[in-house]
A and B are shown apart, each in its own frame.
Chain A
Amino acid sequence: MTERASGVQADVFDVAVVGGGVVGCAAFREFTLAGARCVLLERNADLIDGASKGNSGLLHTGFDAKPGSLEARCVRDGYRTYLEVRERLNLPLMATGAILAAWTQEERERLPAIVARAQANHVTDVRQISREELRELEPGVSDAAVGGILAPGESIIDPWSAPFAYALQGVLNGGVVRRSTEVLGGRLVDGIWRLSTSKGSLGARVVINCAGNFGDLVEAIARPSPFTIRPRKGQFVIFDKSAFGLVRGILLPVPNERTKGVVVSRTAYGNLIVGPTAEDQEDRTKATVDRKQLMNLIAQGVRMVPALAGHQVTATYAGLRPATLETKDYVIEALPGQRWITASGIRSTGLTAALGIAKHLRGLYEENFETLAPLGDPVWPRVQNLSEGGPRRAFQAGRAEIVCHCEGVTRDDIEEALCEPLSARSLGGLKRRTRCMMGRCQGFYCSRRVLQIVGERIPDFTLPADSQDAAA
C-alpha cells in the first residue's frame, strides 16, 4: 500500500484526485471509502503544503455564509461530518463558540441582518448580545466593543492533523498517494484519462481537480478554464502560549464584502492567533510575510484584546487562499463528457467544508458516472493528538526523550512521523505532523537534535538543501 508498491497494477485508477490539500485529502478518503480505486497526486514533497498549510484552524458553522450557496451547503455538511468522524480518527475539537464583535454603531446596526442570515442558514443558536453580555463572555475584549453576536457552534480544530487523517484513512483502505508528482497534462482516450506527471504517466477513469491555487491551470487540461485563480494572501501572527487565556474562544469582526476580517482566536496548539490579512497577488506559491502588515496585525489584535500588548510573538506565517476572479462561491461541477469534476475556488472555509465537499463530489460522480459500492468495514486510523488539550505522548509513562521542549515533542513522535504510511517528506511536513520546532524558541534548542533523528532514519531526506520551509 506504500507509494512504491502501487506500481504496475495501479496503471488505471477509477479516480485520480489532483491536489493533496485538505479538499483533495478529503475527496481521496471519500472515494476510497466509497469503494473506488483512487490515487491522490501532489506536486509538493509532502501533503498539505499549499493553501491548506496556512489557515486559521477554525471549524465554522457557516452562520454567515451566503444562504443557498454551494459554500453554505458544503460548510454545513462538512461541519456535521467532522463531528461525526473526529472521535474515531482521534481529531480534536475545542467547542469554544465565537463572538462576533461590533466596534462602531454602524457595525452594530448590521448585526440583526447577520443573525437573520444565520437563521436562513439553519444555524439557529446564533443571537445578538449586548456589550455587557459580551464583556461577561469575553472579559479580555476591549471596552470599545459596542455589542456583538454569539455563535456557540464555532469551534477550533487542528488544521494539520485533520487532512492528514483523511489521507491516512484513504491509504489504509487501499488508496494510493503519490507525492512530488506534478500533473503536467493529460489526454482523454477511449474514456480513460492518460495523465502525464513529473513522475511518469498514469491512467484514471475520472479526474477530480482539487488543485487549489493551481486550479485553473489544471482545469485547462480538460477545457479552457472558466475561472481564474487569483491567490489571496493571508498573514498571521501567532502569540506565545502565555497569551492563550486572554480570550476564551474565537473573536470575529463584522465581515465586509471581501473578507471575514481579522480574527483573534485560540489555537488547538495552545497559542493565540491574530489574522489573516487579505492581499491579492499573482504569484501562486510565494507566501511572504511583511513586517508592516505583521505590526498592523499586532496593533489590531491589541486594540481588540488590550492585554495582548505584553505577550511575545512565537511565529508568523502567510497562507494563500485560492480565490477566483469570477465568483465568490465555490466552483464545483461535473463535466460528464470530459469525465472530469472540478472543485475550485475554495477559500478560507475549505478546512471546515472539506468533508462536505467530498460528499458532494461523490454525489456528482455517482450522478454522472457510476454508482459505487462502499467498503464494508473500513479501517479507522487514530492519528497522534497534536492539540494542547488532548493527551500527548510527552506526558505518558515510559515516553522517549523530549526533543522539542517548547511543544512537548518526543523522539517517538518524530520517528513515527518518519515512518510509512505517509511518512513526512520535508521538514515542513515533519513539523506539521509533530509540532517540533514550532514553539517559542523556533528551533533554538532542538534544531540539531531533530535533524539528527531525521538523518538517522532517512539519509536522503530533503534537507537541508531542498527543504520546503523552515518556519511554520
Chain B
Amino acid sequence: MKEAVLIIGAGPAGLTAARCLHEAGVEQVEVLERNLEAGGLPQSCGHPGWGMMDLHRFMRGPSYARELVRRAAGVTISTGVTVTRLLPGGSVEVLDSGGLGTRSASAVLLTTGIRETPRPARLVSGTRPWGVTTTGAFQDMVYIGGMRPFKRPVIVGTEWVSFSALLTARHGGIRPVAMIEEASRITARRPADILARGLFGVPVLTRTRLTEILGTKRVEGVEIERDGKLSILDCDGVIFTGLFTPEATLVRTSHLALDEGTFGPAIDNHWRCSDPAYFAAGNVLRAVEHSGMAAAEGAAAARSVLRALRGDLPRPDEAVRVRTRGALAYAYPQRLCLGKEPIVLRARARVRLKGELRLTADDILLSRRRLEALPERRLTVKVDPAKLGGRNDLTLALE
C-alpha cells in the first residue's frame, strides 16, 4: 500500500502498531520519536516484569524495549524528532535538527504515552528542596544514569509503579524508609504490601497523608498525618509515584477533542479521534494500563488504520456518544460506530465503591452488574449493537 502512516511516539503502543502496519504491507510507516532512543518508558525500568502479555516472555524493561524495536525492523524510526503541532487532515508540524517543517500522511497514530503527576501539581505544602522526584525520573537516574539521588526516601503512593520504585531503590542501594498511602488499603493488588514489608523491610503506612516537605537545601524529612495525628518522618528524598496522566499536550493544543474524564483524546471504537485522519492508542488514551495492553491496543489501532486506508471504516459522523454518570472517572471509546460486532467499553471508578454498573440507552436499561469498584482497576462492559436499535445516547453509570 502506497499510503503514508505517521506514528507519534516509539513506545510499546507505537512500535507494535508500526510492526503490524509494516507486516500488513503498508510501505511508508514512519515512527517519530522525540528522544534519541526508541523504546519509550520501559527503557529506564531495569527490573523484570515486561513483555509477558504481548511477547509472552518475562523481560526487563530495556530488553523489552529493544525487542519491540527489533520486531519493527523495516519501519522508519526517526529519533530526535519532536512533533510540535497537529494540523487538520493529518499534517503535523515537526521539529528535527533541520528546523521546523511539516509532514503529511493519510493517517496519523498518536501513541505518546503517559507521565506521573509531579509534586507541584499535587499542591503539596512545604519547602522545595532537592530530592523530590517521580518514579520515572528516579528509575531513569538509577538505571540509566547510575546515580543515587538520595539514600532514604519516602515513597508516596501504592500503585504498581510504587512497588516498581521500591525495586529500583533496591537496585540502586537505596533504602526507602516507608511507603505511604492515603486510602485504607494499597492501590495495587495484594500481596504487594506484604512483599514490600517481608522482602524489603519497608513499612507500608495506609491512612497516611504527606502534609509537608521539610528541608532547606535537600529533603530533611516529611510531615505526615495519620489518624488525625501529625508526626515527622525522617528521610532525605520523596518519590511521588503514580497518579499518571496522559502526555496529551499535542491534543490539548490541537483541533482534536479532548475527554475531560480521561485527559486524553476522545476516540471512537475504531481508535479514531474527532478528526478521522488521527488515531490514538495506548496510555495516551487514559492512565494507566500496563505495557502489554498498550501494545495490544497499538496492534488493534493498526488494524483500524489499515481499514481506513482501504476506505473500509464506517463513517465517523454516524457514531453515538457514550456518557458517564455517578462514580465513574471515565469511559472510552467515547463514541461508537455501531456495526454487527460487540464493542467493549472500558471505564474506571473515581473512588472505591460497592454499587451497580448500568448501561442505558435513551433511558432503556441494556445491562446491569453489581460489583465492588476500586480506583485504578479497569471495568469493562460489552455493548451489543443488536440490542440498541436506532437509539442514540449511551450512558454508563456507577451508583
Contacts and interface: CB of A to CB of B under 8 A. Distances in A.
B128 A242 contact: no
A448 B147 contact: yes
Contacts of B245: 312
B128 A395 contact: no
Contact of B140 (A290, A310, A447): A447
21 contacts: A242-B253, A286-B127, A286-B216, A287-B128, A289-B125, A397-B97, A398-B97, A399-B97, A399-B99, A442-B121, A443-B137, A444-B137, A448-B44, A449-B140, A451-B145, A464-B147, A465-B218, A466-B217, A467-B130, A469-B128, A469-B130
B120 A314 contact: yes
Interface hub of A295, A310, A464 (most chain B Cβ within 10 A): A464
Interface hub of A294, A442, A452 (most chain B Cβ within 10 A): A442
A172 interface: no
Interface in A226-264: 238, 240-242
A472 B260 CA distance: 28
Contacts of A289: 123-126, 128
Interface hub of A240, A316, A394 (most chain B Cβ within 10 A): A316
Interface of A: 238, 240-242, 285-291, 294-295, 310, 312-317, 394-399, 401-402, 405-406, 427, 440-445, 447-449, 451-452, 463-472
B120 A471 contact: yes
Nearest to A285: B216
Interface stretch (B111-119, B340-348, B375-383, B390-398): B111-119
Contacts of B125: 288-291
B11 to A, nearest CB: 12
A395 B99 contact: yes
Given A396-B99, A470-B129, 6 more contacts: A289-B125, A312-B121, A313-B123, A443-B134, A467-B217, A469-B128
A241 B123 contact: no
B133 A447 contact: yes
B360 interface: no
B267 interface: no
Interface string B161-194: 0000000000000000000000000000000000
A465 B263 CA distance: 36
Contacts of A286: 127, 216
Contacts of A441: 115, 118, 247
Interface residues of B, number: 49
A464 B131 contact: yes
Interface string B74-105: 00000010100000000000010111100000
B39 to A, nearest CB: 13
Contacts of A395: 95, 99-100
A292 B89 CA distance: 44
B132 to A, nearest CB: 6
B141 interface: yes
B136 interface: yes
A403 B192 CA distance: 35
B249 interface: yes
A241 B141 CA distance: 27
Contacts of A314: 120-121
Contacts of A442: 118-121, 134
A137 B212 CA distance: 41
Contact of B145 (A310, A448, A469, A471): A448
Contacts of B73: none
Interface string B258-278: 001001000000000000000
Nearest to B98: A397
B144 interface: yes
B71 to A, nearest CB: 24
A411 B127 CA distance: 29
B120 A316 contact: yes
B298 to A, nearest CB: 20
Contacts of B97: 397-399
A213 B395 CA distance: 58
Interface hub of B36, B130, B133, B247 (most chain A Cβ within 10 A): B130
A316 B141 contact: no
Contact of B118 (A242, A295, A443, A465): A443
Interface string B202-239: 00000000011000111000000000000000000000
B34 interface: yes
A466 B130 CA distance: 8
Interface hub of B115, B127, B129 (most chain A Cβ within 10 A): B127
A294 B124 CA distance: 9
B149 interface: yes
B252 interface: yes
A472 B147 CA distance: 22
Contacts of A295: 123
B126 A468 contact: no
Nearest to A316: B120
A471 B132 CA distance: 9
Given A314-B120, A447-B140, A440 B249 contact: yes
Contacts of A312: 121, 245, 263
A396 B137 CA distance: 28
Given A312-B245, A401-B36, A448-B137, A471 B119 contact: yes
A315 to B, nearest CB: 4
A295 B125 CA distance: 11
Given A448-B141, A451-B141, A469 B123 contact: no
Contact of A427 (B44, B98, B130, B144): B130
B330 to A, nearest CB: 14
Contacts of A405: 34, 82
A443 B130 contact: no
Contacts of A440: 115, 249
B253 A241 contact: yes
A433 to B, nearest CB: 17
B100 A464 contact: no
A319 to B, nearest CB: 12
**CB-based closest 3 A-B pairs:** A442-B118, A397-B99, A471-B128
Contacts of A398: 97-99
Interface string B9-45: 0000000000000000000000000101000000010
B186 to A, nearest CB: 23
A445 B34 CA distance: 11
B101 to A, nearest CB: 10
B263 to A, nearest CB: 8
A466 B149 CA distance: 11
Given A396-B99, A401-B80, A470 B130 contact: yes
A271 B172 CA distance: 36
Contacts of B100: 395
B115 A444 contact: yes
Nearest to A286: B127
Contacts of B144: 448
A427 B131 CA distance: 12
Contacts of A288: 125-127, 212
A445 B129 CA distance: 19
A452 B253 contact: no
Nearest to B237: A464
B140 A464 contact: no
A48 to B, nearest CB: 16
B14 to A, nearest CB: 16
A463 to B, nearest CB: 7
B22 to A, nearest CB: 26
A238 to B, nearest CB: 8
Contacts of B249: 241-242, 406, 440
